[in-house]
Amino acid sequence: EMVAWDKSSLQQMAQGVAGYLDTARLAGDVEEVVRELRSLTPKVDSLVKNDGTDVTLMVLDGTIPMFHNQKKYNCPVKFWMGLDYPASPPICYVSPTRDMGIKPRHVHVDNAGFIYHQYLTQWNVRSSLKDLCTTLTTVFSKDPPVYAKPSGGQAAAHTSQQATVNLQPAVQKPLPPPAASPESEPVRAPTAAAAHSQPPSRNPPSQASSRPPPPSTSSQPAPPSWAASGAGGWAVGSSLAATTAAEEESKDSLVLFVMSKINAKYENFRRGNEVEFDEFQTQQTDLEVTQQKLTHAHEALISEKTYLLNLLDEMDTAESVITAYLTHIENRGKPQDPKDAPQVESLVHASDALAQQLMDCVSQDRAIEDVLYELDCALGDGKIETPEYLRLVHRLSRQQFKEKEVVHRILAKRRSLGVY
């Protein structure tokens, strides 16, 4: 029965394991995988490390599809997510069942089932479990990491069939029984007359009687045809056995030769991939360094932009001040309303009391001088009578004298104080 996993339940499962740093990201990636691959089941289990310690982690257990020879197969896998996921890649294993075996010398899977792949070595925070499953499906479809073990009955039948095939060339047809021939006829015992007529032999009688007479080319008949065919049958059987042994030896030599070629080609392929992988690693490092430089340059440009914007605001403020000052300068040359004109007394201020008194006395003195000048002009023009003129001149002269005396005393006081 398939269980419908959602992100909240997966996040609760991840939060039940102590140590996970980003449970939301972990739950999202796992939910994305199990939504596409129902054959993978998330659960919590213990992983035994190489040092003998075990750690409780979240694991995806099940199968991923692979397509080989236009047929779909299921490859059993386990994906263990570390506590710092997604900063580090998952620990991936191929976990074959009892009737499966791991393919020896696989490019991406070792004998213990540990999975090696470039996607795992170049893992980053933008990688995902879904892309990992897609990549492994593509890789395992090209080169399956597991194979089905033959059952016991099939293995015994295969072994007996191979033994029968190997023994067939040695079975020969039975030969026909031998017939009587001149060489095989028994030697008759000599008669008494013949024994007296023949000289005695040095050899024992048994050896002399068992030795056949010397062959005669003129009187010996040709061997029958069955004898030639029987001897030829034994020769053909021996030749066939020798040929079979030579073929087996040739097959073994050919298999060893092909295996050596395959191993050499695999080593060259692996070395070439290692060199290419090192080049990709170097390019990856260079790209990361370039990315850091571009990030620093981007931050520097943002800082300079902020500085220039602040400087532009300051220049706008200075421009407004300069514009107001120029407007004020232009308006100074224009005639102003006397009411709007500033008072002269408010434009100049003395630094201390004596300076202020001195300024007032000097101003009074200059003002009296101006009044006396105007009285002279009025008397000359007949605008004022002589008695009135004399009375005003007398009063203004006395006041002017007092102002000048005060000025002399203030100057003397400032000299004594060392102020000029």
pLDDT over 70 for what percent of the chain? 72
- What pTM was estimated for this model as a whole? 0.39
Mean pLDDT value of segment 33-50: 90
Q: What tokens were used for 411?
A: 């100057």
Q: Is the pLDDT of residue 57 over 80?
A: yes
Dist CA 405 CA 393 (whole Å) = 18
Residue 419 pLDDT: 72
Most confident of the following: 47-56, 303-312, 322-331: 303-312
What is the pLDDT at residue 222?
Answer: 40
Q: What is the separation of C-alpha 279 from the centre of its chain, rounded to a whole number of angstroms?
A: 13
* pLDDT (0 to 100) of residue 124: 92
| Torsion angles phi and psi, residue 122, rounded to 5 | -105, 25
**Which whole number is the average pLDDT over 360-385?**
91
pLDDT tens column, 391-404 = 999 999 999 999 99
More confident residue, 95 or 205: 95
Assign 335 a pLDDT band (cuts: 50, 70, 90): low
| CA–CA distance, 228 with 317 (Å, rounded to integer) | 130
pLDDT, tens only, 300-317: 999 999 999 999 999 999
The answer to whether the beta carbons of residues 29 and 23 sit under 8 Å apart is no
Strands of 144-251 (E only): list them: 146-148
Asked if 90 and 26 count as a contact pair (C-beta separation under 8 A), the reply is no
Interior/surface letters 331-362, b for 16+ CB within 10 angstroms, e for the rest? eeeeeeeeeeeeeeeeeeeeeeeeeebbeebe
pLDDT surpassing 90 at residue 230: no
Alpha-carbon torsion (43, 75, 124, 105), positive or negative: positive
Residue 344 CA, distance from chain mean position:
82
Q: Which residues pair with 81 in a beta bridge?
A: 58
Of 123, 147, 146, give the one whose Cα is nearest residue 135.
123
Indicate whether 349 pLDDT > 50. yes
Contacts of 336 (CB under 8 A, 6+ apart): none
CB-based contacts of 56, cutoff 8 Å, min separation 6: 17, 18, 44, 45, 46, 47
212 or 252: which leads in pLDDT: 252
What are φ and ψ of residue 54, in 5° steps? Answer: -120, 150
Residues in Cβ contact with 189 at an 8 Å cutoff, skipping those fewer than 6 apart: 209
**Summary mean pLDDT of the chain:** 77
Report which DSSP code applies to 344. Answer: G
DSSP assignment string, 68-113: ETTEEEEEEEEEEEPTTTTSSPPEEEE---TTEEEPTT-SSB-TT-
Half-sphere exposure of 408 (CA within 13 A, CB side): 5
Return the pLDDT at 245: 66
Neighbours of 124 (CB within 10 A): 10
Q: Which residues of 49-62 are buried (b: 16+ CB within 10 A; e: fewer)?
A: eeeeeeeebbbbbb
State mean pLDDT over 258-284: 84
Q: What is the pLDDT of residues 67-76, one digit of tens each?
A: 988 889 999 9
